[in-house]
Structures are given as structure tokens and as C-alpha cells.
């Protein structure tokens, strides 16, 4: 069966590194067949571009296809990114990118379009629990704010890709380690500042402080100034929102570990619930107070 490759679909999924592609090819050749079917929509490959490329180079390899139905291309993109998120070999950056692109695609599907990004279920469209971000967050087991920040990160990566595709791939593959807030800032910068930002990212440096982003309301400017006074000059946070975003990202990683610890000692916690609650709260609050005191004193150890 001759399948069709649509460049728009092919470009939606982050590229494999040379090593990853080589490993995939070796695995397929060793197995003598492609275990995972190549997914199509109206004959266009939706998932499996790399597998299809390999079988074209090795026509003796057997493979299967799976035709799926989607109401429009955005629904297909939505499925593509959610499917990617189910794979184990994603970097943190790649995962964040897929979440952001999934959110972007979902907002453009027929079921959501025209409803202020709420699910068209026939129910109350003003129910805040039905927002697109909330639904995706529930599906993926993450916070709504994480979904929205992921979209900003994805837009930043796409803005970088327009000028430097290899730099964008290096960010997603984890080869170039940069702060997510710096990548987010690229998307909302003007062209002159954008070029300088990308150059800093390519050098694996923080974006210069003097680069301006979108002006904020007076109240937010006051908060930004306060943060600037509290932190050393080399800190490159742009707004209080960016600061909180990074804190929340790290809190989510902590919570995953925390949940694992709780479940490892489930019997102890169940039998001493109130004591555990009080102890955990006291311990965490003490740590927060310590950090705040260190911040005030300028000690960033």
C-alpha cells in the first residue's frame, strides 16, 4: 500500500536524533517486521513517519497500517501529540512541547472552536471546569497552569524553529539546556530582540536583562520591581508569572516523588493520618520560611 506523506503532519512531531533513528532501524531489522502499526487518516501518515521511511529502505520488512477517522486535521494533531505523550523516551522539554501543541490543536478542533475554548458537550458552556486546559490537564494528570505554560513554551520553540531548526531540535532533545522561561520569552519578543534572544540560547546563556518583553500593567510592574530588588542582578526572571511558573514546575516534580513516598508507606500514613498531615505541613512550612529568610538576607546557597 502506497501511503502519503503530508509535510504539515510530518513536521508536527519533533525529529529523532541520528542515534535514535539508527536504534529504531536496528530494532526493526532485528525483529524482521514493524510491530507498531503505521497510523493513517485518509491515506495520509499520522504516526509512523520514521517507521515508514525505514520500510521503504528495506522493502522486505513487513508492516501494518491502522486507518483512523478524525473530523478535521486539528483533531488528528491532537491525537498525534497525545499519542507521543504516551511514549517513554521523551525528554522533559519534548513532553512540555507536546502538551503545548496538544492544547493548541485541541482549541482549534470543531468541538471546541467558537465556544471560548470550552468543550461542546451541550452542557453549560460557562462551566470553568470544562475549559480546554482543564480537560487536558485532567487527561494527563497535571495542573491547568502547566498546560497553559506548555503552550507558551511550544510557541517559543516554534519561533526558534522558524530561524534555526537545529537549535529547536537541540532544545527538545535535551542537548541544549536552557530555561523554559527564556524559550517562552522568544515567542512574544519583537524581531530584533528575538534574534538576540536566540543567539543567547544557542550559547546556552540566559537572555540578557535589558531585553524588554510585552509591557505589563502598573501593578505587575511594581511586583516585577520588587522581585528584581530581592534577587541578585544576574537573575533573569521577566515577570512574577515566570517566577511562579518555574516554582510550580519544580513543585510538580517534587509532588511526584512525595506521592511515591506516601504510597511506599501507605499503611503507616493510613494509621497515623493526622500526625502525618501535621508533620508534613510543619516540615514544608519551615523549609519555606528558611528560603524566604535566605532571600531577604541575600544568601542564595
The reported pLDDT for the residue numbered 5 is: 92
- Look at residues 42, 45, 84, 38 and name the one whose alpha carbon lies nearest to residue 61: 38
Report pLDDT for 76.
Answer: 95
d(CA 134, CA 142): 9
Q: Is 106 exposed, middle or buried (0-12, 13-18, 19+ CB in 10 A)?
A: buried
Is the model's pLDDT at 106 over the cut of 90? yes
pTM, 2 dp = 0.66
* Average pLDDT for 226-241: 45
b (16+ CB within 10 A) / e for 179-216:
ebbbbbbbbebeeebbeebbebbbeeebbeeebebeee
Band of residue 234 on the pLDDT scale cut at 50, 70, 90: very low
Residue 209 is predicted with a pLDDT of 56
* Termini Cα distance of the chain: 61
Does position 129 have pLDDT exceeding 80, yes or no? no
Q: H helices within 86-231, ranges in order?
A: 92-108, 132-140, 144-163, 165-172, 180-187, 191-202, 218-230
**Residue 205: what are its φ and ψ, rounded to 5°?**
-120, 155
Confidence check: pLDDT of 10 > 70: yes
| Dist. CA 89–CA 14, nearest whole Å | 12
Q: Across the strands, what pairs with 131?
A: 118
pLDDT of residue 17: 83
| Residue 130 DSSP code | G
User: Does 223 score more than 60 pLDDT?
Assistant: no
CB 109, CB 72: distance < 8 Å: yes
Taking all residues of the chain, what is their mean pLDDT, rounded to a whole number? 80
CA distance 23 to 27: 6
pLDDT tens digits along 12-35: 887 888 888 999 999 999 999 999
Residues in the chain: 301
Distance CA 80, CA 231 (A): 41
Mean pLDDT of 59-79: 94
Q: What is the mean pLDDT of residues 230-235?
A: 40
pLDDT confidence band for 227 (50 / 70 / 90): very low
Residues 65 and 53: their CA atoms lie apart, in Å, by 14
In the three-class reduction of DSSP (H, G, I as helix; E, B as strand; rest coil), residue 274 is classed as helix
Name the band, by pLDDT with cuts 50, 70 and 90, for residue 111: low
Planar angle of CA 250, 252, 253, nearest 5 degrees: 65
- Asked if 14 contacts 172 with a C-beta cutoff of 8 angstroms, the reply is yes
Strand order in the sheet with 44-47: 44-47, 38-41, 65-67
Amino acid at each position: 500500500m502506497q501511503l502519503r506523506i503530508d509535510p504539515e503532519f510530518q513536521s508536527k512531531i519533533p525529529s529523532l536524533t541520528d542515534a535514535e533513528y539508527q536504534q529504531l532501524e536496528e530494532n526493526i531489522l532485528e525483529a524482521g517486521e514493524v510491530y507498531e502499526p503505521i497510523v493513517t487518516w485518509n491515506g495520509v501518515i499520522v504516526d509512523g513517519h520514521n517507521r515508514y521511511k525505514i520500510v521503504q529502505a528495506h522493502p522486505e520488512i513487513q508492516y501494518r497500517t491502522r486507518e483512523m477517522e478524525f473530523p478535521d486535521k486539528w483533531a488528528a494533531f491532537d491525537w498525534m501529540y497525545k499519542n507521543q505523550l504516551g511514549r517513554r523516551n521523551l525528554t522533559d522539554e519534548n513532553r512540555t512541547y507536546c502538551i503545548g501543541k496538544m492544547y493548541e490543536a485541541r482549541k482549534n478542533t470543531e468541538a471546541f472552536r467558537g465556544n471560548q475554548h470550552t468543550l461542546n458537550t451541550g452542557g453549560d458552556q460557562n462551566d470553568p471546569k470544562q475549559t480546554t486546559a482543564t480537560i487536558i490537564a485532567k487527561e494527563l494528570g497535571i495542573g491547568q497552569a502547566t498546560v497553559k505554560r506548555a503552550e507558551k513554551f511550544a510557541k517559543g520553540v516554534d519561533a526558534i524553529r522558524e530561524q534555526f531548526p537545529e537549535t529547536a531540535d537541540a532544545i527538545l532533545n535535551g542537548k541544549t539546556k536552557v530555561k523554559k522561561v527564556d524559550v517562552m520569552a522568544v515567542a512574544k519578543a519583537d524581531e530584533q530582540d528575538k534574534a538576540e534572544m536566540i543567539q543567547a540560547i544557542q550559547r546556552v546563556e540566559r537572555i540578557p536583562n535589558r531585553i524588554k518583553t510585552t509591557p505589563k500593567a502598573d501593578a505587575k510592574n511594581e511586583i516585577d520591581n520588587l522581585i528584581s530588588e530581592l534577587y541578585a542582578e544576574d537573575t533573569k526572571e521577566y515577570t512574577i508569572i515566570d517566577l511562579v511558573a518555574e516554582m510550580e514546575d519544580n513543585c510538580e516534580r517534587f509532588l511526584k516523588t512525595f506521592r511515591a513516598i506516601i504510597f511506599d508507606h501507605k499503611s503507616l500514613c493510613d494509621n497515623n493520618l493526622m500526625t502525618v498531615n501535621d508533620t508534613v505541613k510543619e516540615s514544608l512550612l519551615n523549609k519555606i520560611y528558611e528560603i524566604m529568610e535566605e532571600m531577604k538576607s541575600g544568601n542564595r546557597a
